[in-house]
Structure 1
Amino acid sequence: MLRRVSSYLFLLFLIPVSLGCAAEDSAFKAGVDYEVLPQAVRTANSSKIEVNEVFAYTCGHCFNFEAVLEPWFETLAADVDVQRTPAVWQPSMELYARAYYSASMLKVLDKVHMAIFEAIHVKREAVRSEQDLVKFFVAAGVSAEKFSQVFNSFGMSSMVNQAKARMRGYRTQGTPEMVVNGKYRVSSRMSGGFEGMIKVANYLIAKERASAN
């Protein structure tokens, strides 16, 4: 009798767990909360789960998203690779893509990235030319000559073209957006805001992690 009661109790404990898994699986739906890309885009590191933010320095929503994004990045596990892609909708936006990749190549991204955002959206400064960008790099310890060399290099042109191709593959419709592991596009419109984007991205990271095991 005790053995039968124990079996019933064990099954009762399993029921909530099963329901919880079902609820988790149905929490976010493809085509509703995120888009499954028709063709996967190659990631920077195939051994990790990539989260790639598509952003623009001129985008006020992107600037506001930083307050949510950066703390979340710090919580991500070691198997997640964080990347960013500067949006290039038109030729004038290449300037900002070059600024981002220059900061990355010169290893001063932590000093320059938010400084450019704040100059545009808080200080309301004009940042519209290579000359306007020099001060950010000089303040970060990079000479004006070195910055100009990297900013105008052939390698820089290649990186900007790769960003354009990546955006096409991502089917980017606005900024900010995130693409998880080159497969899933996450937008604030579909997920219901910045916090929603983080929740959907967490779900997709877990999904990718589970499929790899």
Structure 2
Amino acid sequence: MRKLILSATLVAASVFGMAGVQAAEPAKAGEQYIELSNPVPVSQPGKIEVVELFWYGCPHCYHFEPTLNPWVSKLPKDVNFKRVPAMFGGPWDAHGQMFLTLEAMGVEQKVHDAVFDAIQNQRKRLTDPQDMADFLATQGVDKDKFLSTFNSFAIKGQVQQAKALAKKYEITGVPSMVVNGKYRFDLGTAGGPDGVLSVADQLIAKERAK
């Protein structure tokens, strides 16, 4: 699994500078995206769901943020965007559990950029819960509440749910996107950050037309 993740990451790195190369091309199944053989139920029935699977320790996820976030902010009301942490063990699991904890506390959006910056630019590992709590306290997050939530039964259940989702989506690397539980694509297949959003737009329109 780790070799597959590394391979997908290297592919992403090789095309990251090709943003927009395929953006004008119609997205094709088996080329720009993969149609899942077993569709995954969406979290909000009645809305078109767009999922980004990511990891705070992934530099490509970090560099995708400036392209992704403005697009997310302009999504129409019939589209539900959500992030799902990919967890393949070790720091992936620790960071994923941190994300889910912050989301449960309702503060993830406020500290998302700071966590990414701490891990990617300040070289903080943030794999130990106490270290996470100490850092998050500098961002205004209650330390004791964070730790109690992090270790709660509810969060452990969400961790298992996120891992199960990643398996159902059949991802091998991050960042990966999934539209409406049916179509999966990434930087490599879509041709870079702008290509990813172009494919997402086309698949959203495809689902909306049904």
Alignment CA distance shift 1:124-1:92 (3 Å):
closer
Quick check: 1:105 aligned with 2:114?
no
CA distance in 2, matches of 1:52, 1:154: 24
Moved over 6 A (4+): none
Deviation at 1:92, TM superposition (A): 3.6
Which fold has the larger relative contact order, with Cα–Cα distance below 8 Å and residues 6 or more apart in sequence?
A: 2
Deviations 1:147-173 (A, max 9, x none): 111000011111000011000010101
What pairs up with 1:60-139 in 2 under 5 angstroms?
60-139=59-138
Which residue of structure 2 lines up, in the alignment, with residue 180 of structure 1?
A: 179
CA distance in 1, matches of 2:27, 2:177: 16
Deviations 1:40-85 (A, max 9, x none): 1111101100000000000000000101110000111000001111
CA distance in 1, matches of 2:170, 2:67: 23
Question: What is the TM-score when the length of structure 1 is the normalising length?
Answer: 0.84
Two-structure CA RMSD over aligned residues (Å): 1.3
Query: Once the two structures are aligned, what percentage of the paired residues are identical?
Result: 40
Aligned 8 A contact 2:59 2:120 in 1: yes
CA distance in 1, matches of 2:209, 2:114: 38
Quick check: which one's helix share is greater? 1
Which residue of structure 1 lines up, in the alignment, with residue 31 of structure 2?
A: 32
What pairs up with 1:141-180 in 2 under 5 angstroms?
141-180=140-179
Quick check: 1:59 aligned with 2:58?
yes
Which residue of structure 2 lines up, in the alignment, with residue 20 of structure 1?
A: none
Which residue of structure 1 lines up, in the alignment, with residue 207 of structure 2?
A: 208
Which residue of structure 2 lines up, in the alignment, with residue 46 of structure 1?
A: 45
Specify the code of the residue in structure 2 equivalent to 1:65. Answer: F
CA distance in 1, matches of 2:135, 2:61: 19
Task: Identify which range, 97-106 or 200-209, moves more after superposition.
Answer: 97-106
The count of corresponding residues between Structure 1 and Structure 2 is 186
Q: Secondary structure at the match of 2:122?
A: coil
Which residue of structure 1 lines up, in the alignment, with residue 17 of structure 2?
A: none
CA distance in 1, matches of 2:93, 2:121: 22
CA distance in 2, matches of 1:136, 1:186: 33
Deviation at 1:144, TM superposition (A): 1.5
Deviations 1:97-140 (A, max 9, x none): 11101111111112221111100111222322111211343234
Q: Secondary structure at the match of 1:52?
A: strand
Structure number with bigger Rg = 1
Quick check: 1:194 aligned with 2:159?
no
CA distance in 2, matches of 1:112, 1:188: 25
